[in-house]
Amino acid sequence: MPPRDLVVAPPPKSFQEIILRLQNFWAAQGCLILQPYDMEVGAGTSHPATTLRSLGPDRVWNVAYVQPSRRPKDGRYGENPNRLQHYYQFQVLMKPAPADSQDLYLRSLYALGIDPALHDIRFVEDDWENPTLGAWGLGWEVWCDGMEVTQYTYFQQVGGIECDPVPVELTYGLERLAMYLLDVKSVYDLPFNDPQTPGAKRYGDVFLRAEREYSAYNFEHADAAILLQHFKDAEQECKALLERRLALPAYDQALKAGHTFNLLDARGVISVVERAAYIGRVRDLARACCRLWLDAA
Amino acid sequence: MAEFLLELFSEEIPARMQARAAEDLKTLVTGALKAAGLAFDRAEAFVTPRRLALVVDGLPAVRPDVVEERKGPKVDAPQQAIDGFLKATGLTLEQCEQRDTPKGKIWFANLIIPGGPTADLLPEVIRKAILGLPWPKSMRAAEEVVRWVRPLHHVLALFDGKLVPFRYDLHRPDIDGSGEGAKAAVDSTVGHRFLAPGRISVAGFADYRAKLRDAYVVLDREERKALIKAQVEQQAKAAGLALRDDPGLLEEVAGLVEWPVVHLGRIDDAFMEVPEEVLVTSMRTHQRYFALEGADGTLAPRFAVVANTETKDGGATVIAGNERVLRARLSDAKFFWDQDRKTPLESRVKDLEPIIFHARLGSVAQKVERMAALSAWLAPKLGADPALADRAARLAKADLTSGMVGEFPELQGLMGRYYALAQGEPPAVAEAIADHYKPVGPSDRCPTAPVSIAVALADKLDTLAGFFAIDEKPTGSRDPYALRRAALGVIRLITENKLSLSLRAAFGAAWDAYRVDGLRDRTVVVEELLSFIADRLKVAMREKGVRHDLIDAVFAVGGEDDLLRLLGRVDALAAFLGSEDGANLLTAYRRAGNIVRIEGKKDGVEAFGEVDPARFAMAQERALFERLEADAQPLRAALAAGDFAGAMTTLAGWRKDVDAFFDAVLVNDPDLALRRNRLALLEDLARSMDAVADFSRVEG
């Protein structure tokens, strides 16, 4: 049985309580609590607080934040209880990776009410790669009773550049985790705040309409010609800003190009052959931004 | 005699790497021990997700002095050379000795490498093991520079019950442990991550193993496998079910747990209408669950999950959680199953156009066109209906664009069959779609239905012809397009189904089907493919225990492109050589060959030319000659008709005359003209036999 000094919190009551507990936990570990990046990105990794800061200039960088993640292709018009085109990740980056990062991480699960005396928690090999960022690392999927609750990665390269020191990145899929902890079958039934609160809202009250409308936009109404122009503009602007040695604004344009590509992909206007070429173009931008971020520091 | 115990404790090692890592550790450490002059009785390696362990038994506590002999220069060598030798050995000339050798007097030195406590030698052994372990994928951690599979947390090292004074520093490429960032080896470990996380002090291997057991860690991987299997079988039995054996999954799961605890969960009835291969694949690849089956062998609506911990509710939460995850997974699978069937396979064929088969060989859609043409060409030769073969080939790859195969690539072909049946295709077409990738190795099932054989052959012939035509042939261990496997598939399809097929014509037809530019010459490609197939046939037959010398003997005759006939010859040859007549004739063949070779050398000639019947002096030479003459035509006819048994019977009939010839006739007659004619006759005999098989290649 687990050691007696183990503190497992009572179960959370709502989606937002899970976020608050994670923020409090990681703040107590000395992480900066940043806010979401104000651009459309596919994952918390794309936030400059992870991508750029995992490379430098600080040798020590500990940060945690929520990041809305947009995956246009994953939209299901609000009809699939497990899939969303807009969802939340809770992202932690610690550089250098602490020697006891696994223990720290497990304590964050205890803080969410996951009791290892009841659950089967395992670290299962999963090597992570993000081709549009030119990033990869080794680590695991963390399983709780067979469900992936976190992607756990020791970054080795970002933007094609070796990470030194090596950071550890923890990415919690918040909706999935919440559905498990709060025992609901559909994401739209998740209590967003405490259900006892007068006027309490569920996840669907907040996001169902958005899922429907954005699915229609992503798959049917996005104007391919305009998006293609946006892609070109972002690429061109990114390159121009790189010339002016403005790494952060250039990186924003690289993110914009990346998201525009995702929209085009969801719209079905990119062929298999072109797909690889578009990913390559975004990666080239991201790499150049990462290099400039270090060079111009 | 003393024991050495080593444990390398890290964060979770990928399951697929564990067994190999344990073996590598053992090889590295025992190798380093031997190199250090340390003998031992036994070494055994263990691995769990978090630890690599090794015990070496029967090491000496003190290593004895080792005497190493060094050979120096000649005694009369220049002084410079002798000085160099003395400098290298650190000895004086008085300490060396002169020895007589076939090359003259030479200086020898006996170097004494002093022994010492074994414990002092172990740090270097451990250092080499840590640096030398070849992980398939490795990483740097935090500010370290040495790559390891995952962060390495401690090194436990005990010799004779005492801590080994090993220090290491992963921040330095040579892990030299003299600096500030260094860590020391420890004499304690930790147990199960959740069930016994405290530190445990260890006195030796037996103590280590027993204490780990008390701390919820089963050290031995084989034991974990046995425990898992027994638990699954027992619980399945209690539910009236049986485990569907899955050795590969068992291997993996044993690498995901230190303390295996098996639970059975339920699959919702709503999913049981989805093909069982889909359910099993989803459970297996995504969730690592074992499938269970009922008495009739059909999939049961239950699964077995192997947890890594005991829980205080007896697993209720773990089971509920796993059932929930599976429900979400299978909802996806059911969605694909329902969706995919709404699109006819035929209309998916055009979606193969953007899928590249190979940049120089076009799209998968084009491959399908060629396969259809080739299948229809093959069909009449195999007794298959050409229309069905054409249809099956056209639909064979269509499932590649289905949602299900996108999610589970390993179900390619199989899903095609389900979708074909669902849209009312003939069963022969559906089976051919499912089986056209087969056989995918020496032990995979080989298709037997004519339409399936036609499409399976067409797929492989097309692949082989295409890649050879653009000169992408396998070299050494590189075979990125799995052409050896394709060749083996062709061989198995033909031989196991006893098909009579001209491979030359088949490869030619495959080459002709390509409509792309820049292919290499048709004849060159076809001949290369025939010799590639011949090589693979030899390998395949050798593995089946067929004598490779007999295969060589038959192949050496050349010209045959029908595998069935080739192997028929090998069989007939083996039977012939196994008979008394055959063995005897082989002896005579060799005798004849030896005489001709030796005499030919004496005379300085390659061959003795034509036999001249006018020069026969004895009845036995004439009888043998006439026998060879009389049988020449029937022998040719038998070979042309593929009647090798008949050809061998003819050869067997020569024995009497051959024996009589050797008994009575002196080949090396003093009359040179007689001698030459007799040697020519022996040449004739060997040549006649070689037309059936090259007997000079037969061994033993």
Determine the pLDDT at residue A276.
Answer: 81
pLDDT the model gives residue A157: 96
Q: Give the phi and the psi of residue A28 in degrees, each rounded to 5.
A: -65, -20
Inform me whether the pLDDT recorded for A2 exceeds 60. Answer: no
Helix or strand run (H / E) with residue A236: helix A224-243
What's the CA gap between A116 and B311, in Å, rounded? 8
Of A201, A234, A282, A120, which Cα lies nearest the Cα of B322? A120
Phi, psi (rounded to 5 degrees) for B293: -135, 155
B364 contacts: CB under 8 Å, gap ≥ 6:
B352, B353, B355, B356, B357, B397, B400
Q: Which of residues 299-338 of B touch A (CB under 8 A)?
A: 305, 307-309, 311-313, 317-318, 320-322, 324-326, 328, 331
Nearest 5°: the CA angle B286, B291, B296 is 150
- List CB contacts (< 8 A) between A3 and chain B: 197-198
Structure confidence at residue A1 (pLDDT): 45
ipTM: 0.94
Nearest to A125 among B14, B318, B325 (CB): B14
Predicted confidence at residue B94, as pLDDT, reads 84
Q: How many other CB atoms sit within 10 Å of the CB of residue A206?
A: 14
- Per CATH, which fold does A223-295 belong to? Methane Monooxygenase Hydroxylase; Chain G, domain 1 (1.20.58)
Does A145 contact B325 at a Cβ distance shorter than 8 Å?
A: yes
Q: Model confidence at A164, in pLDDT bands (50, 70, 90)? A: very high
| d(C-alpha B249, C-alpha B254), whole Å | 8
**For B189-248, what is each residue's pLDDT tens digit?**
999 999 999 999 999 999 999 999 999 999 999 999 999 999 999 999 999 999 999 999
Q: Encoding tokens for residue B53?
A: 């362990």
Question: Contact A138/B150 with Cβ under 8 angstroms?
Answer: yes
CATH 3.30.930.10 in chain A is located at: 15-214
Question: Among all residues of chain B, which has the CA nearest to that of A1?
Answer: B195
Q: Closest residue of A to B13, CA-based? A: A125
Q: Is B498 left (phi over 0), alpha (psi -120 to 50) or beta?
A: left
Q: Which residues make Cβ contacts (< 8 Å) with residue A149, sequence separation at least 6?
A: A109, A142, A143, A172, A173, A176, A177, A180
Kindly report the backbone phi and psi dihedral angles of residue B106, in degrees, each rounded to the nearest multiple of 5, phi listed first. -130, 145
Q: How far is residue B422's CA from residue B632's CA, in Å, rounded to a whole number?
A: 61
| Amino acid identity, position B172 | R
Cβ of B256 and A122 within 8 Å?
yes
Helix, strand, coil tally for chain A in percent (to 5): 45, 20, 35
Phi, psi angles (nearest 5°) of residue A128: -100, 145
- pLDDT > 60? residue A3: no
- Is A221 buried (19+), middle (13-18) or exposed (0-12) by CB count in 10 A? exposed
Asked if B332 and B286 count as a contact pair (C-beta separation under 8 A), the reply is no
> Per-residue pLDDT for A117 more than 90?
yes
Residues in B closer than 8 angstroms to A147, CB to CB, are 321, 324-325
Q: Do A146 and B287 touch (CB under 8 A)?
A: yes
The CATH number of domain A15-214 is 3.30.930.10? yes
B668–A contact, CB cutoff 8 A: no
Which residue do the tokens 């401690």 mark?
B154
Is B20 near chain A, with CB under 8 Å?
Answer: no
State residue A163 phi and psi, 5-degree precision.
-85, 125
B365 in contact with A, Cβ within 8 Å: no
Q: Which residues does B604 contact at the CB level (< 8 Å), separation at least 6?
A: none
Stretches where chain B sits below pLDDT 50 are none
CB contact under 8 A, A272 and B355: yes
- Which residues 92-111 of A are in CB contact (within 8 Å) with B? 96-99, 102
Residue A142 β-bridge partners: A123, A150
Interface-testing mutation among A60, A125, A182, with chain B (most B C-beta atoms within 10 A): A125
- Closest of B62, B58, B40, B38 to residue B115, by C-alpha: B62
Whole-angstrom distance, CA of residue B108 vs CA of residue B119: 32
Cis status of the peptide bond prior to A96, with omega within 30 of 0: yes
- Give the pair of three-digit tokens for residue A283: 């990666």
Hey, is the C-beta of B359 within 8 angstroms of any chain A C-beta?
A: no
Yes or no, beta carbons of B194 and A121 under 8 Å apart: yes
**Contact status, residue A151 vs residue A93, Cβ threshold 8 Å:** no
- A226 at the B interface (CB within 8 A)? no
Q: How far out from the chain centre does Cα A62 lie?
A: 16
The answer, for A196 touching chain B at a CB cutoff of 8 Å, is no
- The C-alpha atoms of residue B318 and residue B295 are separated, in whole angstroms, by 27
pLDDT in tens, B437-483: 999 988 899 999 999 999 999 999 999 999 999 999 998 888 889 99
What is the full DSSP assignment across B200-259? Answer: EE--SHHHHHHHHHHTT----HHHHHHHHHHHHHHHHHHTT-EE---HHHHHHHHTT-SS
> What is the tally of helices (H) and strands (E) in chain A?
8, 9
Interchain pair A137, B139: CB under 8 A: yes
Residue B332, pLDDT score: 83
Cα–Cα distance measured from residue B442 to residue B453, given in angstroms and rounded to the nearest whole number: 16
In one-letter notation, the amino acid at residue B669 is D
Nearest CA in chain B to A138: B139
Q: For chain B, say whether A225 makes contact (Cβ under 8 Å).
A: no
Among all chains, which residue has been given the structure tokens 């979606």? Answer: B351
Whether B107 and B75 have beta carbons less than 8 Å apart is answered as yes
CB contact under 8 Å between A146 and B326, yes or no, is yes
Distance to chain B for A19, nearest Cα, Å:
21
Given an 8 Å threshold on Cβ–Cβ distance, is A271 in contact with B151? no
Amino acid at B10: S
In order of A209, A260, B159, B254, the CA distances from A76 in angstroms are 12, 19, 62, 38
**In the prediction, which pLDDT does A273 show?**
63
The CB-side HSE value for B115 (13 A sphere, CA atoms) comes to 13
Residues of A in contact with B318 (CB under 8 A): 118-120, 145
CB contact under 8 A, A138 and B150: yes
Q: How close is the nearest chain B Cα to the Cα of A140, in Å?
A: 8
Give the pLDDT score at B433: 97
Pick from B497, B387, B411: nearest CA to B448: B497
Cβ(B621)–Cβ(B681) under 8 Å?
Answer: yes
Looking at this protein, which amino acid is placed at residue A57? P
* B50: closest CA of chain A, how far (Å): 10
Asked if the Cβ–Cβ distance from A120 to B195 is below 8 Å, we say no
Q: Which residues of A touch B306 (CB under 8 A)?
A: none
Q: What are the start and end residues of each CATH 1.20.58.180 domain in chain A? A: 223-295
Cβ proximity of A175 and A88 under 8 Å: yes
Contacts of B320 in chain A (CB under 8 A): 145
Cβ neighbours for B18, distance < 8 A, ≥ 6 positions apart: B47, B48, B49, B221, B255
Which among B15, B153, B318 has the least Cβ separation from residue A119? B318
Q: Is the peptide bond before A57 cis (omega within 30 degrees of 0)?
A: yes
Helix, strand, coil share (%) of chain B residues, nearest 5: 55, 15, 30
Long-range contacts of B579-586, Cβ-Cβ distance < 8 Å, separation of 24 or more: B579/B652, B581/B651, B581/B652, B581/B655, B582/B648, B582/B651, B582/B652, B584/B655, B584/B658, B584/B659, B585/B651, B585/B652, B585/B654, B585/B655, B585/B658, B585/B689, B586/B695, B586/B698
A115 → chain B, closest CA residue = B311
Q: Calculate what percentage of chain B has a pLDDT beyond 70.
A: 100
pLDDT band at residue A272, thresholds of 50, 70 and 90? Answer: low
Section A148-163 average pLDDT:
96
A39 DSSP 8-state letter: S
Q: What CA–CA distance (Å, rounded) separates B651 from B635?
A: 9
pLDDT beyond 90 at A18: yes
**Which residues numbered 147-176 in A keep a CB inside 8 Å of some CB on B?**
147, 154, 156, 164-166
Q: Who among A124, A147, A156 is closest to B256 (CB)?
A: A124
| Chain A closest-CA separation from residue B306 CA (Å) | 10
